[in-house]
Amino acid sequence: MSVAPLPDLLIAPLVRAALAEDLGRAGDVTAQACIAADARISAVFAARKPGVVSGLACVRLAIGELDPTAEVRLLANDGEAVAAGGQLAWVEGNARALLSAERTALNLVGRLSGIATLTRAYVEAVAGTEARIADTRKTTPGLRALEKYAVRCGGGVNHRFGLDDAILIKDNHVAACGSVGEAMRRAKAAAGHLMKIEVEVDSLSQLDEALAEMPDVIMLDNFGLEDLRKAVLKTAGRVVLEASGGITLETVRAVAETGVDVISVGALTHSASVLDIGLDAARAA
């Protein structure tokens, strides 16, 4: 699966911050103690388990930050499914630098590949339906751009990136405004002509209230399957319908078959297991 890469401009500050956290005040004292300053080493990043790759730029940038002369050869592509034992990248450079960058590179590529792998599982579970799998804002603080990129690597689509790129009226907004209709009217009055409006509803009666104001998207929060089907019939394609709330790999197919357009799953980013990736080094020269 081909995915447009993120620019280094966005990734590099995150990698630098992770390296700085790991190196601390004195740098890698183990590498300094055990390895000659001019020693060089080659190594391979390899998957220990099957999965979908994401975040290989983090490997390249982490190593390049500590050894600008290092050679990094990517052997896989983001969005590609790899088997256990599959090689992701070959690297050669200063031994101290490579070993100092190792954990930062593995932490990032393993985390992002885990998200991509879980997303791919959800996408495959709804294959043949019209539903698309979307993420949420339940991301690791500071890593949202990378984690949402990983979702795209897995075949999912991104929900809003932050509070500023779409109006999403949730249950607490409705409570503060008094009703779905009032919240919608206020949102419409404030929104620019390019700003989309989504409203969350938790019942069919609230769905009727939302439809009267015609938002761009209606989120059906924790609806049962029968009510999802009724909502699809009632809406008749007039707005985009998004199902959300506690949807798992075991239930997502049934939700998709109700006819909803989008299924948002917070677990893609908040509960994905890290893909086990390791670095296998040759003897230092």
Asked whether residue 77 is domain-assigned, the answer is yes
CB of 1 within 8 A of CB of 79? yes
Pair (264, 135) in one structural domain? yes
Q: Write down the mean pLDDT value for the chain.
A: 97
Return d(Cα 18, Cα 150) in angstroms, integer.
18
Residues 251 and 146 in one domain: yes
User: Tokens 């296998």 label which residue?
Assistant: 280
Task: Give percent of the chain above pLDDT 70.
Answer: 99
> What whole-number distance in Å separates Cα of residue 189 and Cα of residue 61?
45
| Whether residue 140 sits in one domain with residue 26 | no
In a domain, 2, yes or no: no
Q: What is the pLDDT of residues 109-134, one digit of tens each?
A: 999 999 999 999 999 999 999 999 99
Please state, in angstroms and as integers, the Cα–Cα distance from residue 205 to each residue in 68, 161, 230, following that order: 61, 29, 11
Domains held by the chain: number? 2
Q: What is the pLDDT of residues 194-232, one digit of tens each?
A: 999 999 999 999 999 999 999 999 999 999 999 999 999
Considering the domain architecture, whether residues 265 and 129 belong to the same structural domain is answered as yes
Question: Is 285 a residue whose pLDDT tops 90?
Answer: no
Examine the domain organization and report whether 203 and 277 are in the same domain. Answer: no
Active-site residues: which are they? 103, 138, 170, 200, 221
Residue 50 lies in a domain: yes
- Residue 3, domain member (yes or no): no
Question: 3-state SS of the chain: helix, strand, coil percent to 5?
Answer: 40, 20, 40
Q: Which residue has the tokens 């709330």?
A: 245
pLDDT single digits (tens) 226-257: 999 999 999 999 999 999 999 999 999 999 99
Q: Do residue 190 and residue 217 come from a single domain?
A: yes
Name the token pair of 219. Answer: 């989120």
109 and 146 housed in the same domain: no
pLDDT at 1 (0 to 100)? 73
Q: Please indicate, yes or no, whether residues 89 and 19 belong to a single structural domain of this protein.
A: yes
Residue 242 belongs to a domain:
yes
Pairing of strands 51-52, 81-82: antiparallel
Q: Please name the amino acid found at residue 49.
A: K
Same domain, residue pair 107 and 139: no
Residues 201 and 226 in one domain: yes
Query: In this structure, are residues 241 and 260 in contact, taking their beta carbons and an 8 Å threshold?
Result: yes
CATH number, domain of 59, equals 3.90.1170.20
Q: What are phi and psi of 243, to 5 degrees?
A: -95, 140
Radius of gyration in angstroms for the set of CA atoms belonging to the chain, rounded to a whole number: 23
The verdict on residue 102 lying in a domain is yes
Range of the domain at 203: 124-270
Residues 84 and 189 in one domain: no
* C-alpha pair distances (Å), 216 with each of 51, 165, 190, 276: 35, 14, 15, 40
Do 109 and 129 reside in the same domain of the chain?
no
Q: Is residue 1 part of a domain?
A: no
Q: How confident is the model at residue 2 (pLDDT cuts 50, 70, 90)?
A: confident
Residue at 45 is within a domain:
yes
Which CATH number fits the domain that encloses residue 208? 3.20.20.70
> How far lies 177's CA from each of 168, 172, 185, 202, 210, in Å?
14, 9, 10, 16, 14
